[in-house]
Amino acid sequence: MNAIKILFRRELSSFFSTPVAYVFIIIFLIMSGVFTFYLGNFYERGQADLLPFFNFHPWLYLFLVPAMAMRLWAEERKSGTIELLMTLPITTMQAMVAKFLAAWSVLGLALILTFPLWITVNYLGNPDNGVIFAAYLGSWLMSGAFLAIGICMSAMTKNQVIAFILTVVVCFLFVLSGTSVVLQAFKGWVPSIVLDTIASLSFIEHFDAMAKGVISLKDVGYFMILIVSWLYAGLVLIEQKKAQ
> Using H for helix, E for strand and C for coil, what is the string for 59-118?
HHHHHHHHHHHCCCCHHHHHHCHHHHHHHCCCCHHHHHHHHHHHHHHHHHHHHHCCHHHH
Give the C-alpha distances (Å, rounded to integers) separating 230 from 49, 103, 235.
33, 15, 9
Does residue 23 surpass a pLDDT of 80?
yes
Q: How far is CA 121 from the centre of its chain?
A: 25
User: Tell me: the pLDDT tens digits for 59-114?
Assistant: 999 999 999 998 888 776 666 666 666 666 678 888 899 999 999 999 999 999 99
Tell me: pLDDT of 152 over 70: yes
Residues 158, 146 contacting (CB under 8 angstroms)? no
Instruction: Say what the pTM is.
Output: 0.90
Considering only CA atoms, which of 117, 166, 119, 112 is closest in space to residue 143?
112
Question: What CA–CA distance (Å, rounded) separates 17 from 229?
Answer: 30
